[in-house]
Amino acid sequence: MSAVKMHADEVETDADLVRRLLAGQFPHWADLPIRLVASYGTDHDIYRLGARLSVRLPRIGWATAQAAKEAE
């Protein structure tokens, strides 16, 4: 499964990108299974990481600030 492009200047993500990011930042999770979650959102791609975790990556530049805003 691959994400459907929704924005002209969208960043493309895939499981390989998630794995590379994990290897650099959270190597203890880098070997967990990764799969794209079917989503109708337009701002982020969400990947399942193993059975209990998820990874959310912004699809568009302006979405990068949303996680910090939501954490407040």
Domain that holds residue 56: 33-72
End-to-end Cα distance, the chain: 33
Residue 64, token pair as written in the block: 């990068």
Residue 61: how many CA atoms within 13 Å on its side-chain side? 2
Q: Does the residue 48 lie in any domain?
A: yes
Residue 47 in domain? yes
In a domain, 7, yes or no: no
Residue 55 counted as domain residue: yes
Q: Would residue 20 count as lying in a domain?
A: no
Per-residue pLDDT of the chain (72 residues; tens, 9 = 90+): 555 666 677 888 899 999 999 999 999 999 999 999 987 777 889 999 999 999 999 888 888 888 788 888
d(CA 37, CA 1): 9
Q: Is residue 14 part of a domain?
A: no
Residue 62 counted as domain residue? yes
Asked whether 23 and 30 are in contact (CB, 8 A), the reply is yes
The model carries a pTM of 0.80
